[in-house]
Amino acid sequence: MNQFQFTIGPVQGFVTQSRRTRDLLISSFLLSYLSGHAIKNVVDQEGQILFPKVEKVDGKWNQKLLTAIEQGEGDVYIGTIPNRFTAEVPHSFDPAKCVETVQAAWKKIAVAVWDVYIKDIVTCGNQTKEIWDRQVEHMWEIDWVLGDDPDLLSSRKAWRTHIPTIEEGDKCTLMPHLQEISGYARPNDRKKQHTFWQELRRNHRLPAHEIRDSERLSAIGLIKRLFPHVSKQAIKWQLPKKAIVFPSKSDMAVMPWRGLAHGGIEKEHFVQVLQQAQNKNKSPQIDGFERKYFLRNEWEKLLRDRGQNQGNVDRKTIQTAYDQLVNKKVDGQELGEPSPYFAIVVMDGDGLGNLLFEAQQRGEAESRAVSEAVADFSENVSELVAAHKGVTIYAGGDDVLALFPKDRALAAATALKDLYQKRFEAINARFKEHVTSLSGAIVYGHHLTHMQALLQYGHYLLDDVAKAKTGRDSLAIGIWKRSGPVVEWSAPWDHIEKPSEDGKSLLVLIDEIKQDPANAFFSNQFLFKLESVFQSFADQYTDRQVLLDLITAEYMRIMQRDVSVKSEGVKKKVKQLLDFSYQMIRNEKKEVVPTGVFQTEIAMLLRFLAMEERD
C-alpha cells in the first residue's frame, strides 16, 4: 500500500475573487465538488481516505456532498470537503485517473454554462470560443504525490509546474488576471463589446443583478456567476432556491433591523404607506444600496408575499415611509435605522497537520480518532452558524468561512471555538506536545465595501495577526469602514474570556455597555483623550495603578456636570477597559503573557460593537 496526497487550487485566487456573497458561496462549493470527485475516484480504485474522515459504510457515504455526487441528487450547496486530502492506495492505483475525473467534472460544468448562455451569441464575439477553452483548460493546478512524508506535497507544489496563460485584451471585472470573453478591446471596439454583453443579457432574460452593465466577465467569472442556474445540467441536481437567492452583504447588515421592522403593526404600516403610491409611474432614481433603496426593496418583497402587483414608488413617498418607520416604537424603543455593517468570520485549526502526523505514527486508532474529531466539528458548523443567524459559506475540515449580522459574529466565533475545543479535548490530553486549537478572525465591514478586499483583510487578520503575531489559539478583530480599515485588535482566547481574576469576558462587557448606551465612558471626547494623550505615555508606567488613577480622574473631569457619577464606579469601569488595553500574546510555551504595549483600539472596538455606529 502507498500513501497518496492530493490537492487542487488555487484556493485563495479562485474563492476571494468574488464580488458578491453568492460568488463566494459557489466558488467554495465548486472547489469542494471537484475535490469530492477526486475522493470518489480514489475509493473506486479501492483506496481508503485517511484524512479527512470520508468513507463508505455498507455502501453509503458518510458525507452528504459525496452522496449527492454519486447519486446525482440532493440539496447540497455548501462546500464541506477540503481541497486537500490524504489516502492509502493499492499498488495498482493510477493517479492519472483521479486527475482525469476532476477535469471531466469541471469541463461538464463549463459546457453546461457555455451551451445555455454563450453558444448562441458566440458569433457576436471576437475569438470567444478560443478564450473560453483556454481559460477553462488552464484553470486548475492539481498536484499529487505518493509517499508518507507530510511535507512531500508541499515540496511538490513548490515546483510551480502549473503556468497560467498570459491574458491579453480587456480584463474580467471579477477576476482581473483573465481576459473577458467578448474578445473586444474598449479603445477600438467599445460598441461591439457592449453589443456582445447586451445580447447575453437579452437572450436569456437575465435579471439585471446577475450581470450588471458595468460587468464584463471571463469564462471562469461567468461559470461562478451562472452555474447556479444550470446546476441540473452540470452536476445532475438543482441547487436549492436559498443558494440561488443567497443573502447579500446588505441583507446580512439589515437582518436584525428587518426582524424588528417586519413585526406586527410595523409591517402593516410599512405596506399601507407604500401601497398609496403603487400606481404612480415615477421610478426612484436611487444609486446603490442605500437605506431608501432597502425600503423599496422590502416593500416589493411584501407585495409579492401578498400576491399583489408591483408598482413604482417615487423618492418622496419612500422617504416619508422610511421616516415614519424608523420612528416607530418596538418594545418601548424607537426602531431606528438599520446598521450598514455585517461581519465575516474566518477560522482555521492550529497545528492540526502535526497532530495528524503524530497520530499516524501511533497507529490507525489514533489517526482515526483525529479524523473523526475533525469530521464531527465540520458536520456541526452549519447548524451552529444558523443558530447565530449567520450563513455558512464553507465548512470543510478545520476551516470555516461564514457571514453574520454585526451583533452576532463575536458570540458565534466563540461558540465555534468552544465546539472545536470540545471535539479535541480528549485527543489533546493524549497529545500534549502536539495539541490543536482554533484561531479566528472577524471583519466588521461596511456593506458597500468590495467583498474581495474584506476577504483578503480577513485572511491577513487570521494568518498574520491571530496566528503569527498573537500566537495561535487567538482571535483577531478588524473594522473596515467605507474609508478602509480603522481598528485592529487581537488577543488569545483565554484573555478574551477571562482577562483577569476579577475581570469580565469581552462578550459580557459588550452586553453591559449595550444596556447603558448613554454611558459617557465611550464619548468621542474621552476616546480622543485616550488615544491622543494616554497612549503616548502609557509605556512610562509599569504600575498599572498609576494609569488607572489618571484615566479615572480624566473620566471624572469629562463627566463633572453629572453629579450622579461616583469615582468608585468609574474606577471599576476603567479597570475593565484596561484589562483589554494591554496587548497580550501566547508565547512559545503557550502561556498568555503581556507585551507591555498599551492599545486604545479596544475602546473604539467596544464602542462600535455596543453602540449603533453610522457612517
> What pLDDT does 153 receive?
78
Percentage with pLDDT > 90 across the chain: 54
Q: Which of 69, 102, 64 is nearest to 83 (CA)?
A: 102
Q: What is the pLDDT of residues 562-591, one digit of tens each?
A: 545 567 777 888 888 888 988 999 998 889
How far apart (Å, rounded) are the C-alpha atoms in residues 92 and 241? 43
- Kindly tell me if the per-residue pLDDT of 503 is higher than 90: no
Mean pLDDT of the chain: 84
> What pLDDT does 612 receive?
60
Grouping H, G, I as helix, E, B as strand and the rest as coil, residue 85 is strand
Instruction: Please tell me which residue, 166 or 495, carries the higher pLDDT value.
Output: 495
Q: Identify the band that residue 549 occupies on the pLDDT scale cut at 50, 70 and 90.
A: confident
Q: What is the pLDDT of residues 89-126, one digit of tens each?
A: 999 999 999 999 999 999 999 999 999 999 999 999 99
Q: What is the pLDDT of residues 401-423, one digit of tens each?
A: 999 999 999 999 999 999 999 99
Q: Identify the band that residue 307 occupies on the pLDDT scale cut at 50, 70 and 90.
A: very low
- Kindly tell me if the per-residue pLDDT of 357 is higher than 90: no
Strands, sheet with 48-51, edge to edge from the N-terminal-most edge strand? 48-51, 84-89, 2-9, 141-146
- Kindly tell me if the per-residue pLDDT of 535 is higher than 70: no
Percentage with pLDDT > 70 across the chain: 80
> What pLDDT does 552 receive?
83
- Kindly tell me if the per-residue pLDDT of 10 is higher than 80: yes
Could you give all domains of the chain from N- to C-terminal order, each with its CATH number? 2-244 (3.30.70.2220), 249-332 (no CATH), 340-497 (3.30.70.270), 501-615 (no CATH)
- Kindly tell me if the per-residue pLDDT of 278 is higher than 50: no
Whole-Å CA distances, 136 to 118, 130, 165, 172, 411: 14, 10, 11, 14, 41
Q: What is the pLDDT of residues 257-274, one digit of tens each?
A: 666 655 433 444 544 544
Q: Identify the band that residue 59 occupies on the pLDDT scale cut at 50, 70 and 90.
A: confident
How far apart (Å, rounded) are the C-alpha atoms in residues 492 and 587? 10
- Kindly tell me if the per-residue pLDDT of 445 is higher than 80: yes
CB 4 within 8 A of CB 137: no
Query: Which segment of 76-85, 122-131, 134-143, 355-364 scores lowest on mean pLDDT?
Result: 355-364
Instruction: Please tell me which residue, 201 or 149, carries the higher pLDDT value.
Output: 201
> What pLDDT does 297 receive?
56
Query: Which segment of 298-302, 321-325, 501-505 scores lowest on mean pLDDT?
Result: 298-302
Model confidence, pTM: 0.88
> What pLDDT does 87 receive?
93
Q: Which of 411, 352, 412 is nearest to 382 (CA)?
A: 412
